[in-house]
Structure 1
Amino acid sequence: MRILLAQNMFHLPSHGGANKSNRILMEQLAARGHECHVVAPLSGALRRTSPERHLAYLRDLGADIRSATGELVVYEYRGVVAHAVVEPSRLARRVGEVAATLDPTWTLVPSDDPGLIMLGAASRATPGRVVYLAHTLQQLPFGPGAFYPSAAGTRLVGAAAGVVSVSRAAREYLRTWGPIESELIHPPVYGPGPFTALPSGGGAVPTASTASTVSMVSMVNPCAYKGLPVFLALADARPEVPFLAVPTWGATGDDLAALRARPNVTLVEPSDDIGTILARTGVLLMPSLWDETFGYTCVEAMLRGIPVLASDVGGLSEAKLGVPYLLPVRRITAYEAGAHARPVPVVPEQDPGPWLAALDRLLGDPAHRRELGERSRDAAAAFAASLDEGAFERYLSGLRPVAPPSPPASRAKAPSPERRAALAALLAARAAAARAPGTVPDQGAP
């Protein structure tokens, strides 16, 4: 098969769950002998970089640079050819160009697509051969959590040849609010293992001045959506405990300032290898305040025996795999317009009490911490082993293109030649009247 992934998020780096999942999926398909291409932005409002800097980053990763201009960088990485578009406004056009050359069997479009730019471009370039990937519930064009509700977008999703959900929560959301049926496929993004258990156990509660680097309380993507107020409250309540924050796509300037103001919080750059972050982690916090679609980082930590404290929202309850702790939060239910592509959440006041009690027990009871780490590792290892790397390939192989929807019929007939001539004469007369001194042109409709 020839497969095109048209996504409105970066191919590399892939620090978010959705783009990491997509990147690994395409690499797995390429390894199985399929021709795989990706069209993605090189930079954006939340990640500004130049083609030169991006080229240096790609070369360090071992990517094969095929061509590079001020508008486009084309490279191959792990068998996948990526077309990184410098100006996001040119993304849709590039999708059409690659589709015209590749003639893809299927075009994959993730839900993380503000304005439905890629879904529209893919539907035009490869009608009847679009497969929609439901990653972020808030980016779906329907339902109570939708950032940008769109009846037209809902019709485009419903007209796709196939829709794939990455969690039970996503499948149920699509079914309830679409209503759209989808195929549930948990992406096998965790690697083959074996996964080394990290020394998250220990004796006394660590302190900010004496703790080793493996005993930090960590949070990836600290921002309002993901529960930054809970993280800050815990850091303030336990100033002697070292905390680690890994800002990615969601952190704003105010968020970073709030983190830097805490002397017991260390900020580190994100990494394409999550293992380098987890190697410094004793407890992982995931206090999300919106409905998570799943929670890949939760499973990544559990595979290494790291206890995870997660909020009981959306797909995080799936990602915890039945292991404590799922903790309460007050969810985000309202958003305001923001300066960037994402709305600004109105964050309800949070109660950090249950979180502080759970964290204190983990840090103060080494036996409980080790026991929870072992349970986490066993559950995550069984889950990872149950995933089928060939499931998505088989799903695509069993799909058939669908007939593209017919364009809606015009409600009004096209004007006759006589009518067009009369309208043209009327407009010309009005233009002449407007040019005449001392006259006021007619403002009425013809």
Structure 2
Amino acid sequence: MASPQASQYNNVTEYDNSRSIEARAIKSRPLRLLFANPGLHAFGNNEGGIKSFRGLIVAMAAAGHECKVISIPAPVPVDGSDHSQWGRLCSTIQDGSAMPPISVDFTDDLPIVELRQGRGGVFEQIRRLLLIRKRFGALVRQRVQDWNPDWVVWENGAGNLRFALTLARGKLALSIASTLLLPFGPASSKEWFLSSSTSVYRRIPKIICASVFMQKYVHNYAGLSSVYQPPVSYGAPPFRRVGRFDGAVTMVNPCVAKGAKIFEALAKSFPDTRFRAIKTYMGVYSGLRSLPNVEISPSREDLDEALSDTSVLVVPSICGESGAMIVLDAMLRGVPVIVSNDGGLPEYRLGVNDCIEVTPLRFVRTWTGAPRAIQAPVRVDPWCTALQPLISDASIWEARASKSVEAAQSYLKKLSVSPLSDYLRT
């Protein structure tokens, strides 16, 4: 599926590295996969990136591969869950079969939550980063030495890639979720926290992309081949239709990078309409708190509950995302969606819902060395045009909701980890 975002990058060309991977039906021994991600337990189950990574672990284990996991525990459980619940939360298994065991190793308690939230001064954050790198890296190194996995699966942004390559003894499979942390291409934030150069990325033997957009991007701007493996952790049907025509216009993770200023402008444009901002790990953009028609809601693990009483989900990201699982989560539950054309988001709307052009966020360094986000002026009119019929005409809303469910259910039936399994075997 070609992404409308491609028009923003004139030299993006069609690229497909799969070569009919699904059709080759490679038969081989199960892979030994070591998944290393420090935030799998500490950040809870309702963050899209964490949910996607956990779901991939569960799906690869269900496909017969031997999977081990290394992470950092939460000092206080974020949502009361532990790894034994991953199958319930993320599993794509639909026949009720038993999950194979997944071995999980945790480091001792480390200040990863405080680091993520930016608490303390620069030197304190550096101290935390070094502590996490040392102890988490030591455990990964030990497990690689003891177990000799085929691949160490790592997420971009989870740590220095040169360090990760060393830990994995060169057998690194990297999942890339955002252009912001990449050192190449027009959507890169070269002034942000870049810890690895393009040359380091070219040493990574296996790269996993969650959208066609991202696969094209890394190929065209760095010459990197990769596999297109979309997220698989949407759960098993049937899904409850929780959308309501008279519900609230909702946004998840209402921070600047996710387009909170666009959401704020929309709420101001429709002062008599209910809006809801669901807070997650990035906090809430301050401009939303003072608006009388905006409700700030806490995040919830149960998506039926989180999206209940929602009329339209707005996903106005401007941070170069590979995609957003919440788009399909909403569509499966009968909630119409309006998305920006940021990164791979257009692919996730499945040609059913509106897609609005935005200017990507930029980051620059201040004199203190800290990053500062710069956003182009908000153009709210196209968003208002897309939203107006969905909140004023019940028949239009119902037709869109039904088409969303149909398209999302059809998409879900085609999901598989076969592309990734076969890619890692070659």
TM-score under structure 1 length normalisation: 0.73
Paired residue for 2:48? 17
Paired residue for 2:410? 382
Look up the SS of the partner of 1:219 in the other structure. strand
Distance 1:140 1:191 in 2: 30
Kept in 1, the 8 Å contact 2:229–2:417? The answer is no
Deviates more, 1:229-238 or 1:366-375: 229-238
Question: Higher RCO, 1 or 2 (CA under 8 Å, sep at least 6)?
Answer: 2
Report whether the alignment pairs 1:283 with 2:325.
no
What per-residue deviation string (whole Å, max 9, x for no partner) do you get for residues 263-317 of structure 1? 2222222223323211231110011123221121111111112110111222111
Paired residue for 2:109? 86
Say which of 236, 243, 256 aligns to 2:268.
236
Distance 1:26 1:200 in 2: 34
Say which of 213, 219, 224 aligns to 1:180.
224
Paired residue for 1:403? none
Decide whether aligned partners of structure 1 residues 251 and 316 sit closer, same or farther in structure 2, where only a CA change above 3 A counts.
same
Paired residue for 1:221? 253
Decide whether aligned partners of structure 1 residues 263 and 56 sit closer, same or farther in structure 2, where only a CA change above 3 A counts.
closer
Using the TM superposition, give the Cα deviation of residue 360 of structure 1 relative to its aligned residue in structure 2, in angstroms: 1.9
Decide whether aligned partners of structure 1 residues 337 and 169 sit closer, same or farther in structure 2, where only a CA change above 3 A counts.
farther
Decide whether aligned partners of structure 1 residues 276 and 61 sit closer, same or farther in structure 2, where only a CA change above 3 A counts.
farther
Say which of 141, 146, 161 aligns to 2:183.
141
Using the TM superposition, give the Cα deviation of residue 62 of structure 1 relative to its aligned residue in structure 2, in angstroms: 5.5
Using the TM superposition, give the Cα deviation of residue 368 of structure 1 relative to its aligned residue in structure 2, in angstroms: 0.4
Using the TM superposition, give the Cα deviation of residue 56 of structure 1 relative to its aligned residue in structure 2, in angstroms: 8.3
Kept in 2, the 8 Å contact 1:96–1:122? The answer is no
Distance 1:339 1:194 in 2: 52
Paired residue for 2:148? 103
Say which of 140, 154, 163 aligns to 2:207.
163
- AA matched with 2:419: A
Look up the SS of the partner of 2:254 in the other structure. coil
Uncovered stretches (5+) of structure 1, i.e. residues with no partner: 44-50, 64-75, 207-214, 400-446
Using the TM superposition, give the Cα deviation of residue 197 of structure 1 relative to its aligned residue in structure 2, in angstroms: 2.3
Kept in 2, the 8 Å contact 1:167–1:293? The answer is yes
Using the TM superposition, give the Cα deviation of residue 367 of structure 1 relative to its aligned residue in structure 2, in angstroms: 0.4
What per-residue deviation string (whole Å, max 9, x for no partner) do you get for residues 320-339 of structure 1? 11113112333324434599
Distance 2:234 2:83 in 1: 23
Distance 2:33 2:100 in 1: 15
Say which of 364, 370, 381 aligns to 2:392.
364
Kept in 2, the 8 Å contact 1:244–1:265? The answer is yes
Structure number with larger C-alpha Rg: 1
Distance 2:62 2:243 in 1: 34
Paired residue for 1:132? 174
Say which of 57, 74, 78 aligns to 2:80.
57
- AA matched with 1:101: D
Kept in 2, the 8 Å contact 1:141–1:148? The answer is yes
Paired residue for 1:413? none
For this pair of structures, how many residues does the alignment match?
A: 359
Paired residue for 1:123? 165
Distance 1:359 1:372 in 2: 12
Distance 1:56 1:318 in 2: 30
Say which of 315, 318, 337 aligns to 1:308.
337
Uncovered stretches (5+) of structure 2, i.e. residues with no partner: 1-30, 87-98, 111-131
Look up the SS of the partner of 2:166 in the other structure. helix
Decide whether aligned partners of structure 1 residues 16 and 151 sit closer, same or farther in structure 2, where only a CA change above 3 A counts.
closer
Q: CA RMSD in A?
A: 2.9
Distance 1:356 1:145 in 2: 26
Deviates more, 1:100-109 or 1:365-374: 100-109
Look up the SS of the partner of 2:71 in the other structure. strand
Decide whether aligned partners of structure 1 residues 265 and 339 sit closer, same or farther in structure 2, where only a CA change above 3 A counts.
farther
Using the TM superposition, give the Cα deviation of residue 347 of structure 1 relative to its aligned residue in structure 2, in angstroms: 1.2
Using the TM superposition, give the Cα deviation of residue 132 of structure 1 relative to its aligned residue in structure 2, in angstroms: 1.2
Say which of 35, 43, 49 aligns to 1:5.
35
- AA matched with 1:200: R
Look up the SS of the partner of 1:216 in the other structure. strand
Decide whether aligned partners of structure 1 residues 62 and 17 sit closer, same or farther in structure 2, where only a CA change above 3 A counts.
closer
Using the TM superposition, give the Cα deviation of residue 166 of structure 1 relative to its aligned residue in structure 2, in angstroms: 1.0
Kept in 2, the 8 Å contact 1:226–1:290? The answer is yes
Distance 2:300 2:107 in 1: 20
Decide whether aligned partners of structure 1 residues 161 and 21 sit closer, same or farther in structure 2, where only a CA change above 3 A counts.
same
Question: Alignment identity in percent?
Answer: 27
Look up the SS of the partner of 1:310 in the other structure. strand
What per-residue deviation string (whole Å, max 9, x for no partner) do you get for residues 353-385 of structure 1? 121222221111000001111111111111111
Kept in 2, the 8 Å contact 1:336–1:346? The answer is no
Using the TM superposition, give the Cα deviation of residue 25 of structure 1 relative to its aligned residue in structure 2, in angstroms: 0.7
Kept in 2, the 8 Å contact 1:218–1:283? The answer is yes
Distance 2:167 2:360 in 1: 39
